Structure 1
Amino acid sequence: MTVPVHPPPVTAAARTFEAIYQAEFDVVTAYFARRTADPQTAADLTADTFVAAITSFATFDRTKGTARSWLLGIGRRIFAQHCEAVTRGRDVVVRMNGRRALSGDEIDDLVGRIDAEREGRELVAAMAALPALDREVVELVDLVGMTPKEAAAVLGVSSGAVRIRLFRARGKLRGQA
């Protein structure tokens, strides 16, 4: 005799995370598409961000910021870890052994997203002369569409500092054009 297996009930937290995932997936993917032209890397970094988010979802506090700022803060750390691993050369073996090959449709979709972020990558390249924090402020506010307060939460600085950096960085970028 077999005992019927019933899936566990879906919790409110699971529904909330799913809604956040669906609402912010494109934003997180675009964040990484501005940083790499490789679809597999963009997909992996996006997946890593959501894995880190779901494992720490119990600590997410909406009173401290939006889901978008929380996810991009995680994405920022994931990207920094990725860059460090690539720089040290450790990433190659791990990535090749643990990555799922993308299907043709997935690659086409990510290539389209990467193409759509071409202007964003051009802006990121133009910002190379700016200090790192200024570059991130411009990206979060002007490309992602965050408020200075949300960007401040992602970067761990005051919203006043973000506004000042944004004003100065925009002036420098206008001077380059």
Structure 2
Amino acid sequence: MTPLPEPPAPDTLRAHLREVYRDRAGDLFAFAYRLTGSERAAEDVVHESVLRILDGRCRVDTARGQLALLLFGVVRNVAREQRRQVAREVGSEPSQQPGVSGHPEHVLAVRSALEALSATDREVIILSAYHGCSPREIATALGSTSLVIRVRLHRARVRLRRLLDGRPASAASVARLGVRS
């Protein structure tokens, strides 16, 4: 049985986290914003993620990957948690909440198509398209393998394309072999 790796010393983790936050805070905020749809909620998610790592509520194994990529995973989990909590409090699905007005029509179309995707599809699309992460980086952030991420990314793109074209994006229609768009 392999022993668990020792967590980094608190001072080392704090210094490394400070450096990562200074370098990637904008990317983390943008990712959280695209997951939550609100500036205030995105700020809360990013700050809560950093606090969870600092106070030990969320253990980060830096041997598993870069701290910045692991922090994206923590942001993702906190955003999901917050989204479920809001849905319970409001008593409705988050996707049924009114959208933000004042954006061009194509931006609203992409936003609504992203909201129609499953959470996992939305996350891989956002990390790939908006943040330029490679499948390997996305796999590290989401705790998966790069092969699984490549498949999920392909399927998510197909579903998104179908939604934007106005066609149904059901999993059954995408999963059929030999069907190409």
Change (3 A) 1:124 1:165: farther
The answer as to whether partners of 1:124 and 1:135 remain within 8 angstroms in 2 is no
- Going by fraction, where is helix more abundant, 1 or 2? 1
TM-score (ref. length: structure 2): 0.64
Q: Provide the C-alpha distance between the structure 2 equivalents of 1:45 and 1:58, rounded to a whole number of angstroms.
A: 14
Q: Which residue type is aligned with residue 164 of structure 1?
A: V
TM-score (ref. length: structure 1): 0.65
Whether 2:156 is the aligned partner of 1:162: answer no
Q: Taking every aligned residue pair, what percent have the same amino acid on both sides?
A: 26
User: 1:73-84 alignment to 2 at 5 Å?
Assistant: 73-84=73-84
Higher relative contact order (CA closer than 8 Å, sequence separation 6+): 1
* 2:94 match: none
Q: Provide the C-alpha distance between the structure 2 equivalents of 1:33 and 1:164, rounded to a whole number of angstroms.
A: 25
Shift of 1:59: 4.5
Question: SS in structure 2 opposite 1:89?
Answer: helix
The answer as to whether partners of 1:45 and 1:79 remain within 8 angstroms in 2 is yes
Q: Which residue type is aligned with residue 16 of structure 2?
A: T
Q: Provide the C-alpha distance between the structure 2 equivalents of 1:37 and 1:133, rounded to a whole number of angstroms.
A: 16
Shift of 1:60: 3.1
More displaced 10-residue stretch of structure 1: 54-63 or 129-138: 54-63
More displaced 10-residue stretch of structure 1: 59-68 or 46-55: 59-68
Say what the alpha-carbon RMSD is for the aligned residues.
Answer: 3.0
Q: Provide the C-alpha distance between the structure 1 equivalents of 2:58 and 2:76, rounded to a whole number of angstroms.
A: 20
Gaps of 5+ in 2: 1-10, 91-102, 166-181
User: 1:3-18 alignment to 2 at 5 Å?
Assistant: 11-18=11-18
User: 1:104-115 alignment to 2 at 5 Å?
Assistant: none
Larger Rg: 1
Q: How many residues align?
A: 141
Q: Provide the C-alpha distance between the structure 1 equivalents of 2:78 and 2:118, rounded to a whole number of angstroms.
A: 20
| Residues 97-127 of structure 1 deviation map (CA, whole Å, 9 limit, x = unaligned) | xxxxxxxxxxxxxxxxxx9xx95x7534223
Partner residue of 1:149 out of 125, 136, 145: 136
Question: SS in structure 2 opposite 1:60?
Answer: coil
Q: Provide the C-alpha distance between the structure 1 equivalents of 2:44 and 2:81, rounded to a whole number of angstroms.
A: 13
Gaps of 5+ in 1: 1-10, 91-114
The answer as to whether partners of 1:124 and 1:139 remain within 8 angstroms in 2 is no
